[in-house]
């Protein structure tokens, strides 16, 4: 009978094994993402396809699902394989750390994009305001035209306020439904990812190199049959 030998006194959680799985998972995700982009760009032919954006979007979504599953499985598997004990727990922790890292990076990118847009808008307003004031002061006709346009815009907005309110309600309802679908999809994806990580971590732990009974194992070792 083959035995796995582990030393007594080892920590229950090895963060080295966890971060090994995280690094492998991120590398697999990066490689498969670049590969998917290359394949998609090679197959995309806007001249012969009637709606290339739809096909490209469907293919990108399917490839992203495959990429996520493979990267989670690879990271959790090797995390469990390097774990001293509780391979399923190390696989789950590797998946959790990777999710936190991805969320942090997405939040940083979104925050940076919003900051850039705000800075550009502020700079445009700061540049445009003095120019408008100068033009209005130098040309009374432009000033009168601007005031007339503002008055017409106000009257038009007041006249169409019920329709604008209805449109706003419809847009809010559509956005709420989209957010609800995305939230439920995210919850389902997280549950599936956790299950894959648990199974892959346990599988990797069971695939650790065995040690035959009677080999060089100290008396303080713990033997577990596989």
Residue with tokens 């190390």: 90
DSSP symbols for 139-201? -HHHHHHHHHHHHHHHHHHHHTHHHHHHHHHHHHHHHHHHHHHHHHHHHHHHHHHHHHHHHHH
pTM exceeding the 0.85 threshold for the entire prediction: no
pLDDT score recorded for residue 77: 94
- Tokens found for residue 49: 């396809």
End-to-end CA distance of the chain, in Å?
A: 8
Rounded Cα–Cα distance for residues 25 and 67 (Å): 10
Rounded Cα–Cα distance for residues 38 and 20 (Å): 27
pLDDT score recorded for residue 182: 80
Closest CA to 20 of 63, 65, 62, 76: 76
Q: What is the mean pLDDT of the chain?
A: 74
pLDDT score recorded for residue 70: 93
β-bridge partners, 2 = 212
State which residues of the chain have pLDDT below 70. 1-11, 45-56, 120-161, 163-164, 210-226
Centre a 10 Å sphere on the Cβ of residue 62 and count the other Cβ atoms it contains: 11
155-210 tens-digit pLDDT? 565 545 676 677 777 888 888 888 888 888 888 888 898 999 999 999 988 887 76
**Any idea what DSSP says for residue 211?**
E
- Tokens found for residue 76: 């959790």
Rounded Cα–Cα distance for residues 77 and 171 (Å): 44
Q: Do 94 and 200 touch, CB atoms closer than 8 A?
A: no
Task: List Cα–Cα distances, 184 to 106, 129, 180, 181, in angstroms.
Answer: 19, 45, 6, 5
Task: List Cα–Cα distances, 117 to 41, 59, 111, in angstroms.
Answer: 29, 30, 10
Q: Do 79 and 201 touch, CB atoms closer than 8 A?
A: yes
């Amino acid at each position: 009978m083959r035995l796995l030998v582990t030393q007594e006194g080892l920590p229950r959680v090895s963060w080295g094994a966890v971060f090994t799985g995280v690094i492998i998972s991120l590398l697999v995700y990066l490689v498969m993402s670049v590969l998917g982009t290359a394949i998609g760009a090679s197959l995309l032919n806007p001249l012969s396809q009637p709606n290339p954006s739809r096909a490209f979007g469907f293919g990108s979504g399917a490839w992203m699902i495959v990429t996520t599953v493979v990267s989670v499985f690879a990271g959790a598997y090797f995390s469990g394989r390097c774990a001293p004990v509780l391979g399923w727990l190390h696989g789950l922790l590797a998946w959790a750390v990777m999710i936190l890292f991805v969320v942090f990076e997405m939040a940083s990118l979104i925050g940076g994009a919003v900051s850039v847009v705000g800075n550009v808008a502020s700079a445009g307003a700061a540049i445009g305001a003095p120019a408008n004031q100068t033009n209005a002061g130098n040309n009374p006709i432009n000033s009168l035209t601007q005031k007339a346009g503002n008055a017409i815009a106000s009257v038009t907005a007041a006249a169409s306020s019920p329709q604008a309110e209805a449109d706003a309600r419809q847009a809010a309802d559509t956005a709420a439904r989209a957010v609800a679908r995305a939230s439920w999809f995210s919850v389902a994806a997280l549950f599936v990812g956790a299950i894959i990580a648990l199974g892959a971590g346990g599988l990797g732990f069971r695939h650790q190199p065995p040690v035959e009974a009677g080999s060089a194992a100290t008396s303080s070792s713990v033997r577990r049959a596989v």
